[in-house]
């Protein structure tokens, strides 16, 4: 099983501040990254050249950017939990996480990389990425420690933003021998 990248700074992309705005999580079976909401001059072509084919937006159903040559895999409006509270609609948020994870895994299994974002690239993004990692056989403790580490490297206070996010990752179903 390919490992979670130990250093989020491993990937350098001209015109994009890594790891603060964009951080690579996995290289295999296809690239998986988290990021903040894309800036106007996002180097989409460079990301495509690095193996990214899709973008997942977790903060709104309508985006004000065109990620071409990448394609939008899904656009959903998950609740922002940066305040630390529980979601108002936990079942709906869990369904959105599970749907995003399923779509991301389908693309990665075909060798197509995915970049995931919300606004800051921390809470909702970390939850979905964490659940992708869990579905690929990583332990909950390893994933939670990694998400905390990478977000501190990005200059954030760490991860999670709310206990619900940790619980979502901790209890997400794993799929042994998924490769």
Domain chopping of the chain, boundaries: 17-171
Q: Is the confidence at residue 5, as pLDDT, over 60?
A: no
Q: Which two tokens stand for residue 67?
A: 């990620």
Q: Which two tokens stand for residue 158?
A: 């760490």
3 state DSSP class of 107: helix
Determine the average pLDDT of the residues in 11-20.
Answer: 85
pLDDT above 70 covers a percentage of the chain that reads 91
Strand 22-26 and strand 32-35: pairing? antiparallel
According to DSSP, residue 38 is labeled P
How many degrees, rounded to 5, is the angle at CA 144 between CA 149 and CA 16?
45
Q: Is the confidence at residue 4, as pLDDT, over 80?
A: no
* Gap between the Cα atoms of 153 and 14, Å rounded: 19
The whole-number pLDDT of residue 177 equals 43
The residue among 148, 154, 115, 150 whose CA lies nearest residue 33 is 115
Element (H, E) at 53: strand 52-57
The whole-number pLDDT of residue 8 equals 44
CATH of domain 17-171: 3.90.190.10
């Amino acid at each position: 099983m390919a490992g979670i990248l130990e250093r989020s700074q491993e990937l350098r992309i001209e015109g994009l501040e890594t790891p603060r705005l964009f951080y690579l999580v996995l290289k295999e079976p296809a690239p998986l990254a988290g990021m903040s909401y894309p800036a106007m001059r996002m180097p989409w072509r460079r990301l495509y050249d690095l193996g990214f084919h899709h973008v997942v937006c977790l903060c709104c159903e309508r985006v004000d950017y065109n990620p071409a040559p990448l394609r939008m895999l899904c656009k959903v409006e998950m609740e922002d939990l940066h305040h630390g509270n529980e979601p108002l609609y936990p079942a709906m948020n869990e369904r959105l996480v599970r749907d995003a994870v399923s779509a991301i895994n389908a693309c990665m299994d075909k060798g197509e990389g995915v970049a995931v974002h919300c606004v800051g690239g921390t809470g909702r993004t970390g939850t979905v990425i964490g659940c992708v990692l869990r579905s690929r056989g990583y332990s909950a403790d390893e994933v939670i420690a990694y998400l905390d580490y990478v977000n501190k490297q990005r200059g954030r206070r760490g991860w999670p933003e709310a206990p619900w996010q940790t619980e979502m990752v901790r209890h997400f179903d794993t799929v042994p021998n998924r490769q």
